[in-house]
Structures are given as structure tokens and as C-alpha cells.
Amino acid sequence: MRRLLNLFILFKEYVVLTLLVFLSFFFMALSRSTEVQSLRAVTTILVGSLQSLYAWIPNPFVLSVENEELRKHNILLLSELAQLRRAKGENDELRRLLAIKPRQGWKLLAAEIVGKTSIGDRNMLTLSAGEQSGIKKGMAVMTDGGLIGRVFSTSGGFSLVEGLFNRDMRVAVKIARTRVDGILGWEGGDELVVRNVPKALDVKEGDLVVTSEYSTFFPSEVPVGIILKQEPEPNTLFRKIYVMPSAHPFRVEHCYVILKDEELEKEKASLETKASDELNKKNTIGNLKKKK
């Protein structure tokens, strides 16, 4: 025992290092567990409360940039509004003729961004609204420009938002003009990247990228960005598309959380159940036929 103790004292630095490395890996493995998520909710309250103390301090640079962007958007929106009103009338009429249920509107909740954290390239925003306002984990967050992220964790009065410029973020998107689908992510740098888009499909610089209906987190048709450039991926049939985001999470002071529409969710779930039931039926019939 004494020899063991002497050995430990002799190599204490290595023993402690092994223990700490082991602990670090253990915590990494636990990172997505429920217990850690609960801890995150507590830290969200703590950090959010502290950040809300100095959130009133205006950042003149951010405000002037935001105002300038808002003015531009306003002019563009006014011209688009007239076109959209006409298009909506036509759309409603066609939907009625085709007997398709009208699309549900988004339920938006305005929130103030009280904190912006950027540690080790994990960009997070703290919102001044939380579970008490109906915000839940996974909800989409946007500005008037477009999508900026999704709710990562919530507490009573605050929410932590994971920005688009995050290595874990993946968004199912499509090109608004041609309905070409892709997966949007971030690979470092100032642009977002859409991968696995076949070279043969019609994609042009300047095309608008919006969220796809295949996304489990985001409602469809939320603007994400504009295509800046594209380049073929060597030795594949695909190309890589660079997207300039419509809204930059670090250049805004206010945002909107898209509250999930319960009815729409139920409808989606029932459609998915119906589809899986039909698939099961087909499989069963197929198996019976094979047996026969």
C-alpha cells in the first residue's frame, strides 16, 4: 500500500492528467443527455439574467446597419407586396379549385436579443423570452430578412439560440425558383454551403434559398439566403453552392420565434402515420404474395 502511494506521489501529474482526460471524455459523451440539458437551462437563466442587465446599452454600429437594412427591405417589400397580393388571390383560387387546404400562417413571437456569445466558434444568442412565452426547444428563429437559427435550450424567461453559423446546424432547403432540394450547413467562413446538388439541375447565382417542407425543425418557405457562387465538386456529379445569408444573427437586435402550430403538427403527424400504414400494408401484401 505504501509502495502504491509512493508510486502515485511519484507520478501524480500523470495520474491526475489521466483522470482529467477521462473526465473530459465522459462529459463529452454526456453532452446531449437530459441531465446536461437541465444544467443548460439553469445556465441559460444565469447568463440571460446577467446579459439582460446591460442589454439596454445600445450598440450604435449594429443599430445603424440594422436600420439601413430595414429601409432597403421596406422598399423591396412594398413592391413585392403588391405582386404577392395578386399572386395570393390566384393561389387561393387555384387551391380552392384543386381542393387543397389553405396553408396555415406562421405564429410569430417577437423577442429582444439580450446577449450574443461567441466562444470557440459556437455562436449563440440569448433571447428575452422563454418557456413562459410558449417557446420550445427546436423552434425556428428569424428576422425580417430571414432565418437566423433555432432554439437550443429554454428556461422560464430566456431562450438560447444556435445560429446558422454553427458546425452542428443542418437545414433542409430548396431553391425557390426551381424547387431544387439540398442540405445547408456551415463550413467556416462568412458563407453558408449547400452540398449534394446535382450538376444537371438548374441553379443560378442570385437565386433565393428558402427552407424546405422536408425540414423537421423549420417551417417551409422561410428565406435563408441568396446564392453567391457555385462550383463543381471534383470527381462527383454534384456541385457546391455558396449562400449569403439574408439575415446575419450578429447584426440584429430583435428577432421573431416561429411558434409551432399544434394543428399543423398534428396534421403532419397524421399524414406521416397514414403514409407509414400504407407502406406497411403494401409490404404485408408483398410478403403474402411471395409466400404464395
Partner 1 sequence: MSYLLESVIALIIVIVQVLASHFLSFGGAMPDLAVIFLAFIIVSRGQLVAEIGGFLLGFALDILSSGTLGAHALSLTLAGFLLGYFFDEELVKQRLRNWPFLLFVFAASVIANLVYYFFFTAGSGLSFTAYAMSRGGLTSLYTVIVAIIPMYYWSRQTLY
40 binds partner 1 (CB under 8 A): yes
Cβ proximity to partner 1: between 188 and 206 the closer is 188
**Would you count residue 155 as binding partner 1 (CB under 8 A)?**
no
Q: Which residue has the cell 429582444?
A: 112
| Options 69, 116, 212, 239; binder of partner 1; rule CB under 8 A | 116
Among 102, 188, 206, 234, binds partner 1 (CB under 8 A): 188
Amino acid in position 74 = N
Does residue number 10 form part of the binding site for partner 1 (CB under 8 A)? no
The residue count for binding partner 1 (CB under 8 A) is 43
The CA distances from residue 10 to 4, 7, 22, in Å, are 10, 5, 20
Say how many Å lie between the first and final Cα of the chain, rounded: 73
Report the amino acid identity of residue 283. N
> CA 65 to CA 221: how far, in whole Å?
25
Distance CA 29, CA 37 (A): 13
Q: Give the count of beta carbons closer than 10 Å to the beta carbon of residue 136.
A: 13
Query: By CB under 8 A, is residue 12 in contact with partner 1?
Result: yes
Rule CB under 8 A: say whether 36 interacts with partner 1. Answer: yes
Stretch that binds partner 1, among 22-30, 78-86, 205-213, 282-290 (CB under 8 A): 22-30
CB of 40 to partner 1, least distance (A): 6
Which residue, 219 or 245, has its beta carbon nearer to partner 1? Answer: 245
The residue ranges of DSSP E strands in the chain, in sequence order, are: 107-119, 122-127, 140-142, 147-154, 159-163, 171-175, 181-185, 192-198, 208-211, 223-232, 238-245, 254-259
Task: Give the footprint of partner 1 on this chain (CB under 8 A).
Answer: 12-13, 16-17, 20-21, 23-28, 30-31, 36, 39-40, 43-44, 46-47, 50-51, 54, 115-122, 124, 152-153, 160, 167-168, 185, 187-188, 195, 250
